[in-house]
């Protein structure tokens, strides 16, 4: 899909969290607006940021050129007020867009964080490009709590091709997360949203993660399934013969599957979240 990429100057880079992210995070940070990965189930498609656009979700990305400058200014102000800073990056985009390879916006933010660290940082991505920044992550790890969370919704490429054909391949994500985990950075696999997977999925995740997060389209779209319904997800599951994966209690079955294969304390099930995370 051709992508319209635009440089923009944004007023702010940190947003105070509300609702589903209010689980220990104080701020979300989106280095880009828009997302080239264009996941079919993405709840951002249903948000005003896309609703008022005249081009489809997945075909545009705005690059926040002044992200690092804003970060420095905003963090300095928060520190002067003695406020906690626990950052979730990112809530409405992927911080490792394909354009990040050249634009280096996320990298510039990490470099700024290395000089002015938050209290904690969770990076949420579907891209193996995060491993490029391992050098800075290792330095940052000495100064704040840090976790790299990789979304791996399924181990099946045929399923991925239906739901997120433009997102990076599953094997590449697994390899990148292993490299990060092997280097000593705390990692999470985010099965979010749960998509149909093979009985071998757990084997793929052994030795690459310290935590597994499970979320579903019915719990995790921020509107208890209403956004997923408007996006046609029930029909998409049904058209492929996967309706049993769209059941209300699927999170409990997936939890049971993973608890039988990993220490139960590392398995966490979302009660009310938003699934890109
Ligand atoms: S779910 Fe995440 S990676 Fe997928 S399109 Fe939405 S913001 Fe991008």
pLDDT in tens, 126-146: 999 999 999 999 999 999 999
Q: How far apart are CA 94 and CA 107, in angstroms?
A: 13
Question: Is the pTM here over 0.75, yes or no?
Answer: yes
The set of residues, in sequence order, having a beta carbon less than 8 Å from that of 250 and lying 6+ positions away, is 194, 216, 218, 244
Q: Using 50, 70 and 90 to split pLDDT, how confident is the model at 221?
A: confident
The set of residues, in sequence order, having a beta carbon less than 8 Å from that of 108 and lying 6+ positions away, is 67, 68
61 touches ligand 1 (CB under 6 Å): no
126 touches ligand 1 (CB under 6 Å): yes
For a pocket test of ligand 1, which of 89, 126, 170 has the largest count of ligand atoms closer than 8 A to its C-beta? 126
Rounded distance from Cα 125 to ligand 1 centre (Å): 9
pLDDT on residue 18: 76
168 touches ligand 1 (CB under 6 Å): no
Instruction: Note whether 246 and 196 are within 8 A (CB).
Output: no
Poorest-pLDDT segment among 21-30, 76-85, 247-256: 21-30
37 touches ligand 1 (CB under 6 Å): yes
117 touches ligand 1 (CB under 6 Å): no
The residues that bridge with 60 in the sheet, in sequence order, are 4
Question: How crowded is residue 80: how many other Cβ atoms within 10 Å of its Cβ?
Answer: 8
pLDDT in tens, 226-264: 999 999 999 999 999 999 999 999 999 999 999 999 999
Q: If 0-12 CB within 10 Å is exposed, 13-18 middle and 19+ buried, where does residue 105 land?
A: buried
Instruction: Note whether 153 and 160 are within 8 A (CB).
Output: yes
For a pocket test of ligand 1, which of 21, 33, 38 has the largest count of ligand atoms closer than 8 A to its C-beta? 38
39 touches ligand 1 (CB under 6 Å): yes
Quote the DSSP letter at residue 3. Answer: -
Q: Is pLDDT of 19 > 90?
A: no
94 touches ligand 1 (CB under 6 Å): yes
CATH number of 4-269: 3.80.30.30
Higher pLDDT pick, 223 / 120: 120
Q: Is pLDDT of 123 > 70?
A: yes
pLDDT on residue 271: 76
For a pocket test of ligand 1, which of 39, 124, 126, 191 has the largest count of ligand atoms closer than 8 A to its C-beta? 39
């Amino acid at each position: 899909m051709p992508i319209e990429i635009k440089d923009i100057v944004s007023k702010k880079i940190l947003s105070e969290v509300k609702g589903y992210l209010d689980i220990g995070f104080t701020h979300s940070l989106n280095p880009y607006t828009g997302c080239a990965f264009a996941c079919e189930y993405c709840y951002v498609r249903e948000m005003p940021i896309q609703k008022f656009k005249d081009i489809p979700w997945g075909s545009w990305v705005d690059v926040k050129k002044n992200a690092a400058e804003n970060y420095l200014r905003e963090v300095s102000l928060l520190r002067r007020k003695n406020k906690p800073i626990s950052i979730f990056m990112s809530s409405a985009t992927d911080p490792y867009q394909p354009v990040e390879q050249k634009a280096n916006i996320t990298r510039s933010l990490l470099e700024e964080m290395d000089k002015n660290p938050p209290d904690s940082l969770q990076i949420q991505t579907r891209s193996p490009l995060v491993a490029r920044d391992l050098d800075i992550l290792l330095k940052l790890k000495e100064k704040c709590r840090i976790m790299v969370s990789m979304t791996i919704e399924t181990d099946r490429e045929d399923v991925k091709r239906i739901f997120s054909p433009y997102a990076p391949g599953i094997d590449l994500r697994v390899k990148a997360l292993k490299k990060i985990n092997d280097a000593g950075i705390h990692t999470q696999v985010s099965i979010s949203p749960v998509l149909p997977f093979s009985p071998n999925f757990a084997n793929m995740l052994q030795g690459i993660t310290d935590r597994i997060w499970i979320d579903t389209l019915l719990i995790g779209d921020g509107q208890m399934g209403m956004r997923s319904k408007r996006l046609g997800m029930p029909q998409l599951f049904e058209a492929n013969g996967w309706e049993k994966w769209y059941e209300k209690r699927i999170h409990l079955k997936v939890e049971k599957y993973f608890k039988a294969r990993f220490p139960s304390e590392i398995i966490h099930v979302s009660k009310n979240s938003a699934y890109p995370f």
